[in-house]
Amino acid sequence: MHQYLKEISQINDQLPQLIESMEWDEMLALTNQRDQLLRKYFEMSPLPDDDSIISKVMADMKNSDQQITEIIAVNKSKLVSESLSLKKSHRAISHYQSTQNHSSLLG
In the chain, where the domains are located: 3-106
Residue by residue, what is the 3-state secondary structure of 1-25? Answer: CCHHHHHHHHHHHHHHHHHHCCCHH
CATH topology of domain 3-106: Methane Monooxygenase Hydroxylase; Chain G, domain 1 (1.20.58)
More confident residue, 28 or 75: 28
Backbone angles phi, psi at 39, to 5 degrees: -60, -50
Instruction: Note the pTM of the prediction, 2 decimals.
Output: 0.68
**pLDDT at residue 81, as a whole number:** 82
**pLDDT at residue 105, as a whole number:** 64
